[in-house]
Structure 1
Amino acid sequence: MTVSDRTIFLQERTPLSLLPATTLAPLARQLEPITLAKGDTVVTAEQDPQGLYILWQGKLETEAELGGVSFLPGAVLNLEALLLEQPTEQTIRTLTDSTLWFIARDQFQALVQQYPEILQTFTRQLVDAVKRLSFQFDLEQERQGVLRPYLVAKAKRGVIGRSRYGDRLRAQIREAASHRRSVLIFGEPGLEKDNLAALVHFGSTQRRLPIIKVDCGQLQASGADLFGRAGGRLGLLKALGPGTLVLNNPNELDADLVAPLAQLLKTGQYRPVGRNGETSPLVKAEARIILLSEQGLPVLGGAVAETIKVPPLRVRKTDLEDWVNYYLSLICRRRGTGRITVAPEAIRRLQSYDFPNNLRELENLVERAAAQLSGGGLITEEIIWPAQSKKRQMRLNLLNRYPDLRRFLRSPWWPDRINYGLTLGLFAVVIAVLWFGPQQRHQNVALTVFWAWWWPLILLGFPFVGRLWCAVCPFMIYGEVTQWVSEKLFPGRLQRWPRQAADRWGGWFLFALFALILVWEEVWNLEDSAYLSACLLLLITAGAMIFSALFER
């Protein structure tokens, strides 16, 4: 290869292209080719450099335990060490048979003395690099200063409990962690929604990025602390980058910030606050946004991609024992005391309470109970619930009085085996007897049971055992079967239950329905006409099936 070819290679393929051709030509003249076999050492760490190496053919790699940096043709070795007169930093070996160009140290130093532009060019490059690093350092310092008050270090705990509600919540968190769309987590106070947001973040592939939590009630009305100022102060969104932004209680947002936040959720864009009322251009946000609220958000709800409703503790009674044992293990570890256990009757007492403040209230209750034990021991019902109100003293808890009843209600028989093994078929038999059997009341046992026993029992017993009746109600069972079939045939078509409209008009609807039944009973002698009674049951069942096919459970 001629000197001219080497000069062209240096200009086109190496970092030395910053030097003029008049300087590269003398360098190219003094380069000597050397050939090394695979695995040979080119440069040894912590040694004075022997000279300048330029890789022409082959592949090199730094020596490292977890895989080093590779060098391809055009790489220049020892340039910094020679210019700064320092030892080499890394050991470099050949990965393949390689050909390098080499100039000895003394010859290179002589070239530097003869052509000062070599040192000037790379010194200037080094100064520019230092300036860039200094700017990046200052920017990172400002970024850290903006984010530091809001940083969330870690998730406190996972989702505790083995109930179906706990399993569903874990599945929803895993689903939310698998994407970067916006999420609304809402539920009653004391349910640790901020911890669930942290679980979503730290369970995602962006777990190494920062996560911050901001209370919306403390944001400036202008939005400058969230969106920043055009050409000025850094906002939280810009400082956060591709991290996770958790907005707590967005219902407390200033009215002027609702529309910009809705735009951010829908389009992923926002406007920094302009100077003197000027409108600044839209900026693309990289952050993933999670909203925490104690209620649904009518204004922002439609802009959120996914919603997670956290079930309150009163519907997760089977998880109470797991939560109590978890809190007790934390207390014992913190105090360094022996193991504290809890009696079954104490758990049952807790399960009979609704916990309006949810986990926060339960944790305080367990703390007070554990404080009464100096070391390890057993927490009894009297310790965890020392006093009873008059209302509690007059209340009979059948589950505490009859443990066998509790075990039955927790068994597979209740309610699934009873519903699908007995009630489902028995209801069909009753309809058939009413339709095809004797039509007079004194001859049809199903008609007699229906009018003499069924309705009085429901009307009188519903206030006391209404939940038990709803668990085995044949109308609801056939509705569940219909919904299961509907989901199989038309997956994802079920609509949300219109709760507000149902709460407003549901009572009047039921009143009108029972009034119609009463009129029908009086006009058509319903209680003495078996097939008409079968029609009544079929109409009620049809209504349950239609609504189950249309709406979520």
Structure 2
Amino acid sequence: MPTPGTEPEATNARRSDNSIVNSAVNDTNDTNERSELNNGATGSTSEQSDRQLALQPYLVTKAKRGVVGRSRYASRLRSQIQAASDTRDSVLVFGEPGLEKDNIAALIHFGSAQRRLPMIQVNCKLLDASGSKLFGRIGGEPGLIQWLGEGTLVLNNIHETPIELVPKLIRLLDMGTYQPAGTLEPTKPNSTQTTQLALDLNPELSSPNEFVCPSQVRIILISERSQMELESLVDRQIKVPPLRVRKADLRQHVEYYISIISRDRGINKLQVSNEAIRRLQTYDFPSNLRELRLLVERAIIQAGDSSLLTEELFWAGQKKGKELRFNLLNAYPKLRQFLRSDWWPDRINYGFTLAFFAIVVAVLFIGPQNREANWALNMFWAWWWPLVLIGYLFVGRLWCAVCPFMIYGEVAQKLSLWLVPRQLKQWPRKSAERWGGWFLFGLFTLIYLWEELWDLPNTAYLSAWLLLLITGGAVVCSVIFERRFWCRYLCPIGGMNGLFAKLSMTELRAQQGICSADCTTYQCYKGGPAKGEGIETNGCPLYSHPAQMQDNRDCVLCMTCLKACPHRSVQVNLRPPGIELWTTHIPRAYEVALLLLLLGGIYLHRLPEAIAKLYHFVQNSAYLANLTNINQWDWLNPANAPLEQFGLHFELSAIVLLLPLIPLALAQGYMWLDYRIRKHLNQQLAPEETTPDRFACLKPRPFIQLVYGYLPLVLGGNLAHYLNMWLEESGRILPVTLATFGLGDVSLNLPVLVAHPAVIAFLQGVTLIVAVVLSWALTQKIGRQGLRYLLPQHLVTLLLAIGMWVLIVPA
């Protein structure tokens, strides 16, 4: 920890071999300043006095401090400064605001062999367009470059240089020469010598107006952004890393500022708590060191008589988006305790789910084969489906943490390793990223067709086979690959869970600042032994690092990272539902295909109702039109049971799955056509005639991005479909359970909870209305255009919802 008047501990450790740091703390009194100015000066005492007066306002007498910190960024910055100090090369120092880049320039100068020569700093923003302050004026006063001689010239804020002055700076850097500003003025006593000297140095000149003066200064440029026209002319470039990537050095910076502020205020040095450092590490500091010093100073003032700076005293602004998060683990310590315990999810999985799933499958095989008499079938279709759909909004992909498919996969993995000790294969990530999503999409398509063609919801043994096939995929992948390869890339249910989890109001994330500053083992990702409060784990089963996640797709909320992290970086946050879809989301083609499949599946579930309504519509239209050949449509008559014809049923199912693509494609096509027309018309208008509408010429979002706006409608439509089963059949679980074991007569006296059909219809209608409104809002957020430009998408949303209403909500 640094003490007042000294450098930080990290810098002191390098004092013996780092001349930069030595020079950073050399106090230079006024006498030494004058002697530096006199070094190398020639001429009379009057000229030396003029030189001192000219340079004094711009003089830099010492560096403020050395480079603080032990991170690799700090070490690299020290090396770059040292290398620049060993030469007289020109240097460009650039970086974000508030990084004290002028101090870096001072370290370069005072760490060099020319440290006794003067160093001045000029703000380019304040220079006039002629550059007379730098270059002097013909027949007038000499410029700073001439007075400086072989000293160091620091041009600060080079990016704000007047445009007229840029060519002159380019010449100075490229050729090492400059031309004084202006034209020949009446000779003055102190300017005759300057004029004659320039002509003597350049005998080829015929006129003072053509003066080309050589420059001996060492030039250091400071900029807040890259300067393409100057970068190729400087000999060295030093990019100062922003504070947000140097979180490992944050504690040293805070302790350094505490030392110097405490010294200036004449108070005892304060300590800072670990929790305060963690809070600061979650902030990105847009103004960097300047902002950090203000925060520390404010905290010291608020601390009063306290000797410890706690996290409550540091209240920095949050990065956009982060201010909308609320960490549940901090608010509810018992929730953290439960999620870190053995109960979640291991005891639940191996103490209950493992055996319960086996019982369910057995009952599906040997019990009655319809929902009215088989409690396992009732649980699967009337309980699990609606509850998991509702759960997406609140807990995302939580179901995957207690999923029986992968529990049996893990059991098979451990058993196979016990029988045949070996190294499991690593994931073929490249192939899996490319084809895994399409594989699960294909599986989900087959499941939909199987469900519809063979009536899975009312056929127990087929539902059992469906569960076993998915479990089999998990077991096979677990025996071959490490961790949960099946869950991450291939599971069809997991693909649906990951898609709908994007709408969740909760998320698991880690604080990037803490992870980059304090973590060196990556135990949450790789696994490892217990460290600090972190316990021993095998690492994330899906190979996801919580600090790098952009959405909820690849997090099953198993809390392995929370248990492994020794730094309390992992958070479980409340957030605006689906916020990632218009902020950090990365669209994927296979997810879009799965979304459209789930949308078509809503209509597929209601295929008998759709055919019946279509037949009645055709029949009524034929009567109104007085058609006589209505019999040709009898194949649609539900009384003729057309769905019992397998080929026809399959064709209709495939058509229904693809049907929603038509209005979606038409809406997107219309938007692009409208954009092309507006752009063409805008180009024909004069500038003063162009529309002030800021959305007028914005290109519409690609379909692969905008289609995610339909996600609430897809979730709401599926939920509306299963609400009928849930509210009408789930309440019969007790008599159905007894009927499963042949006790149907006894079940007559058991309680039954069944919602009234009007209540079911009302809830289904409300679900669809809310889904439409949320889809409109989400589409606006993703599209980022005016309402009238996204109107085609909104109309398609309404059209699709009306279709769902007609098929799902009873009249």
Q: TM-score, normalised by structure 1?
A: 0.51
1:149 aligns with 2:80: no
In the TM superposition, what is the alpha-carbon distance from 1:427 to its structure 2 partner? 3.6
Per the alignment, residue 369 of structure 1 pairs with 299
CA contact (8 A) 1:197 1:290 kept: yes
Per the alignment, residue 785 of structure 2 pairs with none
Name the amino acid aligned to 1:333: R
Name the amino acid aligned to 2:59: L
Per the alignment, residue 160 of structure 2 pairs with 252
1:273 aligns with 2:181: yes
What is the rounded CA distance, in whole Å, between the counterparts of 2:108 and 2:315 in structure 1?
35
1:261 aligns with 2:158: no
What is the rounded CA distance, in whole Å, between the counterparts of 1:423 and 1:138 in structure 2?
84
Per the alignment, residue 28 of structure 1 pairs with none
What is the rounded CA distance, in whole Å, between the counterparts of 1:198 and 1:397 in structure 2?
47
Per the alignment, residue 289 of structure 1 pairs with 219
SS in 2 for 1:207: coil
In the TM superposition, what is the alpha-carbon distance from 1:155 to its structure 2 partner? 0.5
In the TM superposition, what is the alpha-carbon distance from 1:324 to its structure 2 partner? 1.1
Residue deviations 1:204-256 (CA, integer Å, cap 9, x gap): 22111111000112222211110113454211111111111111112222222
Closer, same or farther: CA 146–388 of 1 in aligned 2, 3 Å: closer
For residues 529-548 of structure 1, what are the structure 2 equivalents within 5 Å? none
SS in 2 for 1:156: coil
Q: Pick from 209, 233, 241: which aligns with 1:303?
A: 233
What is the rounded CA distance, in whole Å, between the counterparts of 2:164 and 2:316 in structure 1?
50
What is the rounded CA distance, in whole Å, between the counterparts of 1:423 and 1:192 in structure 2?
51
What is the rounded CA distance, in whole Å, between the counterparts of 1:134 and 1:311 in structure 2?
41
CA contact (8 A) 1:339 1:376 kept: no
Per the alignment, residue 46 of structure 2 pairs with 138
Counting matched residue pairs gives 336
In the TM superposition, what is the alpha-carbon distance from 1:314 to its structure 2 partner? 2.1
Per the alignment, residue 116 of structure 2 pairs with 208
What is the rounded CA distance, in whole Å, between the counterparts of 2:548 and 2:93 in structure 1?
29
Name the amino acid aligned to 1:380: T
CA contact (8 A) 1:147 1:212 kept: yes
CA contact (8 A) 1:273 1:280 kept: no
Name the amino acid aligned to 2:276: A
In the TM superposition, what is the alpha-carbon distance from 1:291 to its structure 2 partner? 1.2
Closer, same or farther: CA 303–135 of 1 in aligned 2, 3 Å: closer
SS in 1 for 2:238: strand
What is the rounded CA distance, in whole Å, between the counterparts of 1:317 and 1:199 in structure 2?
23
Q: Pick from 317, 326, 342: which aligns with 1:395?
A: 326
Closer, same or farther: CA 382–332 of 1 in aligned 2, 3 Å: same
Per the alignment, residue 710 of structure 2 pairs with none
For residues 67-466 of structure 1, what are the structure 2 equivalents within 5 Å? 135-276=43-184, 279-374=209-304, 377-385=307-315, 392=323, 394-396=325-327, 425-427=426-428, 446=477, 448-449=486-487, 450-451=489-490, 452=492, 453=494, 457=498, 465=509
Closer, same or farther: CA 387–193 of 1 in aligned 2, 3 Å: closer
What is the rounded CA distance, in whole Å, between the counterparts of 1:423 and 1:470 in structure 2?
26
In the TM superposition, what is the alpha-carbon distance from 1:394 to its structure 2 partner? 4.5
Name the amino acid aligned to 2:270: I
CA contact (8 A) 1:423 1:472 kept: no
Name the amino acid aligned to 1:371: I
CA contact (8 A) 1:201 1:211 kept: yes
In the TM superposition, what is the alpha-carbon distance from 1:428 to its structure 2 partner? 7.1
Name the amino acid aligned to 1:294: E
Q: Which of 207-216 and 324-333 deviates more?
A: 324-333
What is the rounded CA distance, in whole Å, between the counterparts of 2:588 and 2:248 in structure 1?
36
CA contact (8 A) 2:138 2:209 kept: no
For residues 15-54 of structure 1, what are the structure 2 equivalents within 5 Å? none
Structure 2 spans left out of the alignment, 5+ residues: 1-40, 186-207, 340-422, 444-468, 478-484, 513-544, 551-581, 597-811
CA contact (8 A) 2:151 2:217 kept: yes
In the TM superposition, what is the alpha-carbon distance from 1:298 to its structure 2 partner? 3.3
What is the rounded CA distance, in whole Å, between the counterparts of 1:462 and 1:315 in structure 2?
30
Residue deviations 1:140-199 (CA, integer Å, cap 9, x gap): 222212111100010001111222222222222222222222222122221111111111
What is the rounded CA distance, in whole Å, between the counterparts of 2:430 and 2:155 in structure 1?
56
Per the alignment, residue 637 of structure 2 pairs with none
What is the rounded CA distance, in whole Å, between the counterparts of 2:486 and 2:318 in structure 1?
45
In the TM superposition, what is the alpha-carbon distance from 1:457 to its structure 2 partner? 4.2
- Taking only aligned residues, the RMSD between alpha carbons, in angstroms, comes to 4.5
Per the alignment, residue 717 of structure 2 pairs with none
Per the alignment, residue 759 of structure 2 pairs with none
Closer, same or farther: CA 268–460 of 1 in aligned 2, 3 Å: farther
CA contact (8 A) 1:217 1:253 kept: yes
Closer, same or farther: CA 336–423 of 1 in aligned 2, 3 Å: farther
What is the rounded CA distance, in whole Å, between the counterparts of 1:341 and 1:241 in structure 2?
47
Per the alignment, residue 21 of structure 1 pairs with none
CA contact (8 A) 2:303 2:313 kept: no
Residue deviations 1:13-58 (CA, integer Å, cap 9, x gap): xxxxxxxxxxxxxxxxxxxxxxxxxxxxxxxxxxxxxxxxxxxxxx
In the TM superposition, what is the alpha-carbon distance from 1:352 to its structure 2 partner? 1.8
What is the rounded CA distance, in whole Å, between the counterparts of 2:47 and 2:298 in structure 1?
48
Q: TM-score, normalised by structure 2?
A: 0.36
In the TM superposition, what is the alpha-carbon distance from 1:260 to its structure 2 partner? 0.6
What is the rounded CA distance, in whole Å, between the counterparts of 1:221 and 1:423 in structure 2?
69
What is the rounded CA distance, in whole Å, between the counterparts of 2:251 and 2:48 in structure 1?
46
CA contact (8 A) 1:230 1:280 kept: no
In the TM superposition, what is the alpha-carbon distance from 1:516 to its structure 2 partner? 9.3
Name the amino acid aligned to 1:255: I
Residue deviations 1:287-334 (CA, integer Å, cap 9, x gap): 111111221223323323322222222222222211111111112223
In the TM superposition, what is the alpha-carbon distance from 1:388 to its structure 2 partner? 9.9
Per the alignment, residue 764 of structure 2 pairs with none
CA contact (8 A) 2:283 2:317 kept: no
What is the rounded CA distance, in whole Å, between the counterparts of 1:365 and 1:165 in structure 2?
23
Higher strand residue share: 1
What is the rounded CA distance, in whole Å, between the counterparts of 2:89 and 2:328 in structure 1?
46
In the TM superposition, what is the alpha-carbon distance from 1:383 to its structure 2 partner? 2.6
What is the rounded CA distance, in whole Å, between the counterparts of 1:424 and 1:215 in structure 2?
60
Name the amino acid aligned to 1:372: Q
In the TM superposition, what is the alpha-carbon distance from 1:285 to its structure 2 partner? 1.1
Closer, same or farther: CA 334–462 of 1 in aligned 2, 3 Å: farther
In the TM superposition, what is the alpha-carbon distance from 1:387 to its structure 2 partner? 10
Residue deviations 1:375-412 (CA, integer Å, cap 9, x gap): 56111122333999997584228799879x9xxxxxxx
Name the amino acid aligned to 2:82: R
CA contact (8 A) 1:312 1:358 kept: yes
What is the rounded CA distance, in whole Å, between the counterparts of 2:241 and 2:235 in structure 1?
20
Higher helix residue share: 2
What is the rounded CA distance, in whole Å, between the counterparts of 1:399 and 1:170 in structure 2?
39
SS in 2 for 1:300: helix
